[in-house]
């Protein structure tokens, strides 16, 4: 679990970590803006085959909202516009507004985002002064806690579903208060299912550069990323059919959906990949190469 530093793109952080681990292939499970820090799960080698399954994961953030201004980028980087000098926010007033943003809400994605319009990322259009209509989307704010509050800023802890833009959340809170707001700082603290694992900075990983065994000890088993999926054990014959890409009809009645697949021989279980079960027929979704 990489602790991405401020001021660095997610791809730059990924490439530096890939070099340290001498990995031919590498990927991450959802980027962080350069002005955001925190948890960036990285996948190396065969683990890149499961990275896409983590894009839908719930995430947690700690953010500081600055009141009284708006920003054309929604964060510290943009041009600021004064909305109300000395907004005098109180925790009582803020708690009333925060209650409106818990649960399922609608968000309009920001122009400064990687979403595309006719093949063009919105942030590129925004830099040209072009604004396009964005379709509101439903997201879920599982929890929204006020950690600290002053007259002009507040620190919030957010647990949210995929697709949630913290910049949009903070802007909407500021708009509801009538004083404007933008993200002054943002740190991602968790990505499900990696909610309680230690993070390592690039500096810490670099310190292990010449001690490969220590670096390898930091890597998690690939199936650790998929513990939210149920497990399905296959015998040797069944495993062979799946490895050949064939469909497998199961005799026992099992709930349809995605499964973690294990080749189980003599009580020795080896993770094979993922399969999808429908009408009691198992099909390969993604297999690892061993």
Helix (H) or strand (E) holding 15, with range, is: helix 10-21
Of 110, 114, 109, 111, the residue nearest 130 (C-alpha):
111
Identified catalytic residue from 3, 33, 172, 223: 33
The SS3 assignment for 218 reads coil
Handedness of CA 275, 279, 280, 283 (dihedral sign): negative
CA distance 67 to 84: 8
CA distance 4 to 59: 15
Enumerate residues 6+ apart whose C-beta is below 8 A from 81. Answer: 69, 70, 71, 72, 180
**Catalytic-residue membership of 56:** no
Active site residues: 33
């Amino acid at each position: 679990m990489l602790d991405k530093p401020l001021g660095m793109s997610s791809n730059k952080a990924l490439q530096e970590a890939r070099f340290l681990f001498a990995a031919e292939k590498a990927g991450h499970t959802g980027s962080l803006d350069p002005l955001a820090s925190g948890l960036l799960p990285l996948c190396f080698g065969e683990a890149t085959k499961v990275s896409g399954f983590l894009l839908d994961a719930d995430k947690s953030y700690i953010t500081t909202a600055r009141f009284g201004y708006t920003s054309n980028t929604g964060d510290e980087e943009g041009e600021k516009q004064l909305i109300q000098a000395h907004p005098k926010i109180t925790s009582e007033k803020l708690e009333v507004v925060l209650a409106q943003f818990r649960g399922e809400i609608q968000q309009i994605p920001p122009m400064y985002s990687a979403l595309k319009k006719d093949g063009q990322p919105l942030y590129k259009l925004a830099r040209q002064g072009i604004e396009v209509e964005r379709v509101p989307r439903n997201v879920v704010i599982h929890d929204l806690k006020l950690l600290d509050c002053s007259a002009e800023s507040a620190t919030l802890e957010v647990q949210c579903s995929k697709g949630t833009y913290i910049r949009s959340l903070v802007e909407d809170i500021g708009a509801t208060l009538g004083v404007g707001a933008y993200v002054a700082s943002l740190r991602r603290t968790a990505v499900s299912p990696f909610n309680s694992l230690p993070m390592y900075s690039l500096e810490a990983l670099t310190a292990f550069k010449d001690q490969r065994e220590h670096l390898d000890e930091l890597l998690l088993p690939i199936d650790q990323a998929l513990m939210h999926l149920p497990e399905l054990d296959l015998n040797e014959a069944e495993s062979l059919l799946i490895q050949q890409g064939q469909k497998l009809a199961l005799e026992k009645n099992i709930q349809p959906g995605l499964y973690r697949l294990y080749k189980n021989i003599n009580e020795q279980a080896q993770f094979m990949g993922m399969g999808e079960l429908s009408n009691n027929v198992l099909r390969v979704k993604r297999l690892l190469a061993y």
